[in-house]
């Protein structure tokens, strides 16, 4: 509930990463010795498709991922949700694949598949036995250009998505608050618009919106193919040329032109009262750079800062609020580090019995203020760095995780070298770097505080009053 809703993951065949949690991805950001550069090979097809191969012969399976460099932040105004909607529709049919059969064919071949959409990327992936790779690559290439959609397909899928929104967001006060906090944090940039879309805009999306988005952004030169597992680069190259290679270059550049965020001058607080809330909760978000936008070394320092400050039961915030002060039943935080245009730092605390939001706010502020003034100790840094590297090595021992790690970073503007050099850069972070980062980015005016309060079932005398139609919507 308290992680960021940073991606809408659509589980279709049980092949689920914990990929709604950027915290786990932030952790999974080191390669150290586990992934020497000779393991990864990249090349481009003539039509511009970038291909990355990560051989790993321990088991006779392969992971295929196609990452499109497009996400919810690229949607035309008023059509929020179309990136995610289209991702759903990509599982309909083509001339070769009968309607609704894509995932069933993968499953019949013993494989698993899935897809997800976030603000910056849309990705499709399959894990299959090695000998099925030609089949799934053909299928994935086919739907890059040959999608067929009926008006009924769109209507049916709209219902699915509205139900998804209802269950994941509208029925969950924590998700509602996150949505409102993101809207408050990003006042001009489209990261403030929810990935799944505003409900009233989802209702208005149609087949033409989906095709317009598809035709504009789904193109070989706007995609990255990642194949990992029991393959060698030559095999992948041959297969890719026979499948994706036959798709003509799109031609018109699929430029991402997004409104930029103005300077932030005023701190914002968002308060949600909801009878369905379990406990009083306080969150704080701070604007911060991502790996893509940071100055050299800054994102690495933020990674370690947030690990020390807020990751797990040895973190500053947990020890202070949960163990010592007993104000919170749980407390933590994260660094959302993969955005094309921006990152975020987050802290949260869930109240213990009898504690108020003010108690939590004060506790969180004390932890943050200590980071600003005192920074962290060398011992904390050493321990955090060792844990970060070990955790990453462990996480990326899973091929899907590793492939996803490369895919996400390559699709948001980094290079294979950036990814591979990361452990070395992490090793260079000093306590001074971390204190500088804390002072630079844990700044009130760049923050949004979110307060979730448990409202009584009948929250006010307004119950039963007609609801006002929001601006621009004639009810």
Distances (CA, A) of 157 to 77, 217, 291: 21, 21, 35
Q: How far is CA 436 from CA 173, 301, 375, in A?
A: 35, 9, 8
Closer CB to a second copy, 24 or 180, in the complex: 180
Contacts of 127 (CB under 8 A, 6+ apart): 15, 61, 62, 63, 64, 111, 112, 113, 400
- Quick one: which segment of 158-166, 189-197, 241-249, 307-315 binds a second copy (CB under 8 A)? 189-197
Residue 443 lies near a second copy (rule: CB under 8 A): yes
Task: Give 36 or 374: the residue with its C-beta nearer to a second copy.
Answer: 374
Interaction of residue 441 with a second copy, rule CB under 8 A: yes
How far the first Cα of the chain sits from its last, in Å, is: 31
Which of 135, 258, 279, 362 binds a second copy (CB under 8 A)? It is 258
From the list 14, 296, 312, 466, which residue makes contact with a second copy (rule: CB under 8 A)? 466
The total number of residues written for the chain in this structure: 475
Structure token pair of residue 315: 């973190």
In whole angstroms, give the CA distance from residue 439 to residue 457. Answer: 42
Judged by DSSP in three states, 61 sits in strand
Q: Which stretch binds a second copy (CB under 8 A): 62-70, 106-114, 270-278, 299-307?
A: 270-278
Closer of 56 and 120 to a second copy (Cβ): 120
State in angstroms the smallest separation of the CB of 31 from a second copy.
26
Using CB under 8 A as the binding criterion, the count of chain residues that bind a second copy stands at 67
341 near a second copy (CB under 8 A): yes
Q: In angstroms, what is the minimal distance from the CB of 192 to a second copy?
A: 7
Count Cα neighbours of 37 within 13 Å in the Cβ-side half-sphere. Answer: 10
Shortest Cβ 179–a second copy spacing (Å): 8
Nearest Cα neighbor of 255 from 225, 224, 222 is 222
**For a second copy, which residue of 44, 57, 166, 187 counts as binding (CB under 8 A)?**
187
- The reply to whether 264 sits near a second copy by the rule CB under 8 A is yes
Determine, following the binding rule CB under 8 A, whether residue 439 of this chain makes contact with a second copy: yes
Residues 149-178 that bind a second copy (CB under 8 A): 176-177
Site for a second copy in 75-104 (CB under 8 A): 77-78, 80
Q: Give the per-residue contact string, 367-406, with a second copy (x = CB under 8 A; - = no).
A: -----xx---------------------------------
* Catalytic (active site) residue 234: no
Task: Examine residue 252 and tell whether it contacts a second copy (CB under 8 A).
Answer: no
Q: Which has the closest alpha carbon to 177: 417, 7, 3, 316?
A: 3
Chain-centroid distance, C-alpha 225? 19
Among 122, 254, 315, 342, binds a second copy (CB under 8 A): 342
Instruction: Please report how close the Cβ of residue 140 comes to a second copy at its closest, in angstroms.
Output: 30
Spatial distance between the Cα atoms of 391 and 449, rounded to a whole number of angstroms: 30
Sign of CA dihedral 273, 276, 277, 279: positive
In the bound complex, what is the minimum distance in angstroms from residue 282's beta carbon to a second copy?
Answer: 13
Task: State the Cα–Cα distance between residues 362 and 341, nearest whole angstrom.
Answer: 31
Left if phi > 0, otherwise alpha if psi is -120 to 50, otherwise beta: which for 328?
A: beta
**Residue 99 or 293: which CB sits closer to a second copy?**
293
Q: Which long-range contacts link 387-390 to residues 24+ away (Cβ below 8 Å)?
A: 387/307, 388/27, 388/29, 388/30, 388/303, 388/304, 388/307, 388/426, 389/30, 389/32, 389/423, 389/426
Among 339, 363, 375, 423, binds a second copy (CB under 8 A): 339
Residue 165 CB, nearest approach to a second copy (Å): 11
Candidates 39, 130, 135, 269; binder of a second copy (CB under 8 A) is 269
Minimum distance of a second copy from residue 278's CB (angstroms):
17
Burial 414-429 (b: 16+ CB within 10 A, else e): bebeebbebbebbeeb
Is residue 270 within the footprint of a second copy (CB under 8 A)?
yes
Please, which of residues 280-299 interact with a second copy by CB under 8 A?
Answer: 287-289, 293
Instruction: Name which of 228, 235, 238 is nearest 58 in CA terms.
Output: 228
The span from the CA of 232 to the CA of 437, in Å, is 41
Q: How far is the CB of 380 from a second copy (least distance, A)?
A: 21
Which listed residue (87, 112, 201, 298) is catalytic? 87
Name the residue nearer to a second copy (CB basis): 54 or 277. Answer: 277
Distant-in-sequence, close-in-space partners of 243: CB < 8 Å, separation ≥ 6 = 134, 137, 138, 140, 141, 142
Q: Least Å distance between CB 290 and a second copy? A: 9
> Under the rule (CB under 8 A), what is the footprint of a second copy?
77-78, 80, 176-177, 180, 183-184, 186-193, 198-201, 257-274, 287-289, 293, 339, 341-342, 372-373, 439-441, 443-446, 450, 461-462, 465-474
**Positions marked catalytic:** 87
């Amino acid at each position: 509930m308290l992680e960021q809703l940073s991606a809408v993951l659509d589980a279709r065949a049980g092949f689920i990463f914990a990929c709604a949690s950027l915290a786990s991805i932030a952790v999974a950001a080191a390669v150290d010795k586990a992934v020497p550069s000779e393991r990864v090979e990249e090349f481009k097809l003539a039509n511009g498709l970038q291909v990355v191969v990560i051989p790993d012969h321990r088991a006779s399976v392969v992971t295929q991922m196609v990452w499109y460099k497009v996400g919810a932040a690229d949607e035309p105004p008023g059509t929020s949700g179309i990136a995610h909607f289209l991702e759903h529709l990509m599982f309909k049919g083509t001339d070769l694949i009968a309607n609704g059969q894509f995932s069933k064919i993968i499953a019949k071949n013993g494989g698993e598949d899935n897809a997800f959409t976030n603000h910056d990327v849309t990705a499709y992936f399959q894990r299959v036995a090695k000998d099925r790779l030609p089949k799934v690559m053909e299928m994935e290439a086919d739907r890059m250009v040959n999608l067929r959609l009926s008006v009924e397909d769109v209507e049916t899928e709209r219902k699915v998505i509205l139900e998804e929104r209802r269950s994941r967001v509208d029925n969950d006060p924590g998700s509602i608050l996150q949505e409102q906090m993101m809207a408050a944090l990003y006042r001009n940039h489209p990261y403030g618009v929810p990935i799944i879309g505003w409900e009233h805009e989802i209702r208005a999306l149609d087949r033409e919106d989906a095709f317009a988005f598809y035709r504009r952004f789904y193109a070989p030169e706007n995609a990255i193919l990642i194949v990992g597992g029991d393959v060698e680069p030559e095999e992948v190259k041959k297969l890719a040329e026979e499948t994706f290679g036959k798709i003509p270059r799109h031609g018109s550049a699929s430029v991402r032109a997004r409104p930029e965020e103005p300077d932030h001058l005023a701190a914002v607080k968002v308060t949600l009262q909801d009878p369905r809330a379990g406990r009083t909760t306080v969150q704080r978000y701070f604007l911060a750079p991502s790996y893509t936008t940071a100055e050299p070394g800054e994102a690495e320092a933020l990674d370690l800062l947030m690990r020390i400050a807020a990751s797990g039961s040895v973190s500053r915030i947990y020890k202070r609020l949960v163990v010592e002060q007993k104000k919170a039943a749980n407390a933590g935080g994260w660094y959302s580090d993969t955005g094309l245009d921006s990152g975020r730092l987050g802290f949260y605390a869930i109240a213990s019995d009898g504690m108020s939001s003010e108690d939590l706010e004060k506790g969180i502020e004390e932890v943050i203020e200590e980071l600003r003034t005192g920074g962290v100790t060398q011992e904390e840094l050493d321990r955090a760095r060792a844990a970060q590297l070990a955790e990453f090595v462990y996480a990326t021992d899973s091929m899907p995780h590793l492939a996803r790690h490369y895919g996400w970073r390559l699709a948001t503007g980094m290079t294979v070298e950036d990814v591979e050099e990361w452990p070395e850069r992490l090793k260079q972070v000093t306590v001074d770097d971390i204190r500088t980062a804390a002072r630079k980015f844990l700044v009130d005016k760049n923050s949004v505080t979110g307060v979730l309060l448990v409202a009584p079932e009948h929250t006010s005398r307004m119950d039963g009053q007609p609801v006002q139609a929001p601006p621009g919507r004639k009810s």
